Each structure stands twice: as C-alpha cells, then as structure tokens.
Amino acid sequence: VGDAELRDEARRERELLTPKVATLAHDLTAKLLPRDAVDDAPACLVEVKAAAGGDEASLFAGDLLAMYERFAGRRRHGWDLLSVTKSDCGGVSHAYAEVKGPGAYGALRFESGVHRVQRVPRNDVRIHTSTASVVVFPAGAEDRGATVDFDPAELRIDTFRASGAGGQHATTRMEIFNPTSMRAYQNVNTTNSAVRVTHLPTGTVVSIQDERSQHRNKAKALKVLASRVVGAQAAAAAAARSASRAKLAGSGDRAERIRTYNAPHDRVTDHRSGFTANSVDRVLRGDLLDDVVASLEAADRDARM
C-alpha cells in the first residue's frame, strides 16, 4: 500500500471519527459536571396560582395543575393534592400539590416562573392573554431524613372559616378540584377550621382550608410551610453557587415570564431554551412536557459547561 493511499485512509478515518470524539467529549463533560444535591430530591411541592387575566387566568391555572398531575402519572410519581381554592368559574385560584418519586424535583425544577396563555375564551371572539404563576420547591428536609423544627415564637397561627367568593369569614361552600376528571365535589364548612400559618422571619404565609378538621388543616399548613421555607433556602444556596443556572431555571419571581402557550398558532414556546412544541393540547395533556424539560436540561448543561 502506497503512502498516498495510507494518507487518504487516515483522512477518511479522521473525518469519520472527529464528530464522534466531539460528541463523546461533550457527553463525558456533562456527566462530570457537579450536581446540586437538591436536584435529586425525591419529592417536591408544586404551587400554582392564577395571576393576571381574571377567570381565564384561573382556568389556565387549572390546566397547568392538571398537566402536572398527568406528567407525574407518566413518570409513575405519586401525586397528592394538598390544597386547592377554586374560582367562581370552576378554575383554580390557588393550589398546592406534592409530587413524590425518584427525580421528582429534578423533573419539575424548571417550571418555576410565570406561564402565559393566549387563547379565545368560550364566550368571546377576541384573543385574551392570561398568566398563572408556578413555584416548585424541593421537598422539606423532613422528607430526606432530617427534621424541620419551627420555634413557636417564629409562627403566627390564625384560624377562620373556610372562604368562598363571599369573603374570608363567610359561611360558604368550597368546591374541591379534581384535575384528572375536571369535576368537583362540594365540602360544606361552617366552623373556624381553616388555618393560616405565618413564618415571621421570612414572611411566608400558608393558608389551608380543605379539611373539616382544624388539626388536619394545621398539619397540612405546617408541612407546606416547611417545604416552602427549606426549598427557598436551598434555591438561594443553589443560585449563589451557580449564577448562570439561576438565570436559566428562573428565580421564581412572579414577574418572570418563562413560557407562552399560544392557542391560535397551536404552539408552546419556552423563552429560556427557545424550544417550541407544535401542540398546545399535547403539552397541557403532559404528552410533550418531557420534550420541553429535556430542552431545558440540555440548555442548563450547556450553560454550566
């Protein structure tokens, strides 16, 4: 074999192997990147709240809550709806849910921020823009083998009657939302069983009014409060360790728009990774949320590399 043939063969092998080497180097570097321990938390608290847009905002918040429940089901994660307050139109004003399972927090950690929807309401012909805020906290330390002991002096606990549209102290009926069936059942509450817990050092407030029992509502409120306080501390520590990641993942600020669901054009665009999914319904059903999450994880790795 002549020198010229050997050179040609070497050149062809180099052209064939160079892209593979680059891919392997990228994958190896990604695997060697340090991970925040909190990313592997086996549970997380998801808070969904209607923001700007009135009834449409609460309907959209209900859609997001249902999306996360279906997404959890696809991953065989446990789903526990801790608390939900419904709006008059059947949407969701405010809800807390707990997701449990391997990688539960890691799968949802990029969902914190403001989600925007553009669509035509049933009783209108114009496109309306509405928003809902989502905050995802890693599970409280008590779920990872530690304990959260609040100093009683740091807590203010108030009790009141379960509220509906009629006002905080009205004797009303509160409907409990079921994201899967999109139906509701009614729970009559005529006693001061609702509980509001305020963590004075941080100003964090949690109100729970789902149960007839004041003690059960208090237990739920303290559980949510623990997750929120510990989660906020963990998020702050993670942001301090990685400013670039904090920029991508979102700070959880209610004014931060992270994703737009555009019904007229049938597309969902994430403004951090630039990824676009061409079906609003399939994203809200949880079918394409995996693709959105994968795009954010890839962008996160690239930013850290």
Q: Per residue in 260-275, pLDDT tens?
A: 999 999 999 999 889 9
Instruction: State the angle between helix axes of 289-304 and 54-74 in degrees (0 to 180), rounded to the nearest 10.
Output: 80
* Rounded distance between C-alpha atoms, residue 93 and residue 86, angstroms: 5
Write out the two tokens for 111: 């969902």
Which pLDDT belongs to residue 37? 61
Supply the mean pLDDT for the chain: 76
Q: What is the pLDDT of residue 227?
A: 75
CATH of 40-304, one of 3.30.70.1660, 3.40.50.720, 3.40.190.10, 3.30.70.1450: 3.30.70.1660
- The stretch 232-240 carries a mean pLDDT of 64
List, for residues 5-38, the tens digit of each pLDDT value.
Answer: 888 888 888 888 888 887 777 667 656 666 666 6
The answer to whether 221 and 228 are in contact (CB under 8 A) is no
Give the integer Cα–Cα distance in Å for 152 and 165: 32
For residue 200, the model assigns a pLDDT of 84
3-state secondary structure of 30: helix
Q: How far does CA 20 lie from the centroid of its chain?
A: 36
Query: Whole-angstrom Cα distance, residue 164 to residue 161?
Result: 10
Q: 75 exposed, middle or buried (CB, 10 Å; 0-12, 13-18, 19+)?
A: middle
- Using DSSP, how many helices (H) and how many strands (E) does the chain show? 7, 13
Q: Using CA atoms, how far apart are residues 229 and 242, in angstroms rounded to an integer?
A: 20
Longest dimension (CA), the chain: 95
Name, of 57-61, 84-88, 182-186, the range with top average pLDDT.
Answer: 57-61
- Please report which confidence band the pLDDT of residue 190 belongs to, taking 50, 70 and 90 as the band edges: very low
Pick the closest to residue 207 from 97, 92, 83 (CA basis): 83
CA-to-CA distance for 194 and 139, rounded, in angstroms? 23
107-133 residue pLDDT tens: 898 998 999 999 988 777 788 899 999
All structural domains of the chain with their residue ranges: 40-304
Radius of gyration of the chain (CA): 23
Q: What gap in Å lies between CA 78 and CA 291, rounded to an integer?
A: 21
Q: What is the mean pLDDT of residues 192-205?
A: 83
* pTM for the model: 0.65
User: What is the token pair recorded at 211?
Assistant: 């149960």
